[in-house]
A and B are shown apart, each in its own frame.
Chain A
Amino acid sequence: MQTRFSFGGDEHIFAEVDDAMSLEAFFKSLFITNAVRDARIKGVTEICPANASYQVKFDPDQIRPDDLLAELKRLDTASEKSEPVIKTRIIEIPVLYNDPWTHETLMRFRERHQNPNGTDLEYAAQINGLDSVDAFIKAHSNAPWFVSMVGFVAGLPFLYQMVERQRQIQAPKYLRPRTDTPRLTIGHGGCFSCIYSVRGAGGYQMFGITPMPIYDPNQKISYLHDFMCLFRPGDIVKWKPIDRPAYDEAVADVDAGRFAPVIRDVSFSLTEFNRDIDAYNRKLDGVLHGH
């Protein structure tokens, strides 16, 4: 991995840590963006980590572009020596897989899909070599996911599953994007899952829906009082499959202001994780459920 730097006009530096996705590339991008934030460089206005890249926006009236580039290159080199450990959060997200709302939507846009005669879940199961939708849901929800980027639109998390590359779920985007996606749809495109924070256009395969809002511009929802977006890059997400009664109950709880998401602080070590992935993920599950 050799970071490739490029100016994005006179106000941005774009850094591609790797052209392929990996936890190593994501970690490096997260590390460097944290270091840039800590360095409080004069003239830097936005620091945006992404999956395997990052971007820094700056005011060239306050810092010369070449000086900032030199500083980023210095931090890039220094990051190789640091231990890949982060303090972060693990968040449980309840999911009603195979729900009626994404089902209605996917039927409405069927002619834009690779497999017009099935559902997105059936298609994803098939192309990932799993023999049933249930087996697919198990693969999707068994191991946790990293929030590897927040963006596209406000508060939308891109998620990358914490398993070896050969176990990664992959699925192409729709042949032509939909003009509609229900709010809080769990989607998947390429090797990334996402949660649609707002209703709108989209091209990802649709697997289910969560009752738990993740973006509230009015900040009325109890756990979004302090800030309107739930997710930050580096958060860990664990899906919890739920049935329809549990979904309805959670929606009622959100509306009544008594829904309390399960969120725990956790320290994550990439080195320990790579030593035994399944054992490490079981440990994370233990942190989430307090045992």
Chain B
Amino acid sequence: MAIKVLKPGLATTVQDLGRPGYYHIGIPLSGGMDRHALVAANLLVGNEEGAAVLEAVFMGPELEFTEDATVAITGAQLPPKLDGEPRETWTSFKVRRGQVLSFDFLKQGARGYIAVAGGIDVPVVLGSRSTYALGALGGFKGRKLEAGDELPVGKAAASVKDGRVVASELRGQPAAMPTELRVMPGLYWHRITEAAGNEFFADTWKVAPEADRIGYRFKGGKPLQFVPREPPFGAGSDPSNITDACYPYGSIQVPGGTEPIVLHRDAVSGGGYFMVGTVISADMDLIGQLQPNTPVRFVKVGMDQALAARKSRAELLGKLRNALT
């Protein structure tokens, strides 16, 4: 069983739940940016939660199936079509041999997850099938899909039903506008003035066009004012420089104090820019569904709130599992 890529979409990659354990040598986690939607897509088609799927950003691919299959598309509102006939997102459906799966224009969100019963069966590299394009590692030949690629598909579980649906309250997608991203201040927060810190949380930012799997850039807020200092040896002369250090996932660096960048699943693992804090783990999935120009507010939280939010996100996943398994 295989899937022929007729059109690749904008940047469609093979992703699973990622490749932990190699960040200390610069190989990031990778994996779906919206992990909740990735798991949902897999459960809909009877896969293991962490089976490999396709992550399509902004624009869907066009795929021809060489055998009958069951598929599901979750995440963004990227409406699927089967031989031109509309199908629902967040719903499993059958595809017959020779049929073509394509997509209508994106209506909401940013990333769609395309799961096929049996999972995308590319080789496992360092414990994962996820694509890390910057390092040409994993996925399909270490890169985004191209027209003419043929994706191997694994053997599906015995009984796969179509017509299964994820209820809207279990989808975990960003709801209100502006989207609120909860942030724990820290890391090099002390480098900016108190007024700048207050403004950072008061301003409404917008997702900049430079938003990808490595990181999301934001613009439109006021430039940050720094606390004066004598540059430490090795840090560099710009007030936003530090002696090159590790970057946490979700950390918010602000080169030159102007445009914050939140690092995501394909994060560069370290560098020489100071960071004001870190987006909490519960809100990382939401970032993956933000389109350029989306208004965003950063909301200050502490560890207790972060852990409570993490717990409630885990409970949502638990309900999703109960509904689908």
Max chain B Cβ within 10 angstroms of own Cβ: one of A19, A151, A190:
A151
* A10 and B21 contact, CB distance less than 8 A: no
Is the CB of A21 closer than 8 A to any CB of chain B? Answer: yes
* A55 and B246 contact, CB distance less than 8 A: yes
A43-102 interface (Cβ within 8 A of B): 45-55, 57, 60-61, 65
Is the CB of A200 closer than 8 A to any CB of chain B? Answer: yes
* A50 and B245 contact, CB distance less than 8 A: yes
* B137 and A190 contact, CB distance less than 8 A: no
Name the B residues within 8 Å of A232 (CB-CB): 25
Max chain A Cβ within 10 angstroms of own Cβ: one of B135, B138, B236, B250:
B135
Is the CB of A198 closer than 8 A to any CB of chain B? Answer: yes
Give the distance to chain B from A213, nearest Cβ to Cβ, in Å. Answer: 12
Counting contact residues on chain B (CB < 8 A from A), the size range is 35 or more
* B246 closest partner in A (C-beta): A55
* A172 and B236 contact, CB distance less than 8 A: yes
Is the CB of A231 closer than 8 A to any CB of chain B? Answer: yes
Give the distance to chain A from B159, nearest Cβ to Cβ, in Å. Answer: 32
CA distance A149 to B243 in the complex (A): 11
Known: A152-B268, A154-B25. A20 touches B235 (CB 8 A): yes
Is the CB of B132 closer than 8 A to any CB of chain A? Answer: yes
* B24 and A198 contact, CB distance less than 8 A: no
Name the B residues within 8 Å of A45 (CB-CB): 20-21
* B235 and A156 contact, CB distance less than 8 A: no
Known: A151-B25, A217-B136. A20 touches B186 (CB 8 A): no
* A10 and B244 contact, CB distance less than 8 A: no
Known: A217-B142, A229-B25. A9 touches B134 (CB 8 A): no
Interface 1/0 per residue, A152-176 and B, CB below 8 Å: 1111101000000100100011000
Give chain B's interface residues, CB within 8 Å of chain A: 20-21, 23-27, 125-126, 132, 134-138, 142, 184, 186-187, 189, 232-237, 241-246, 248-251, 268-272, 275, 277-282, 303, 306-307, 310, 314
9 A-B residue pairs with Cβ-Cβ distance under 8 Å, sorted by A, are: A8-B248, A12-B278, A51-B243, A51-B245, A61-B314, A158-B244, A190-B236, A229-B27, A231-B25
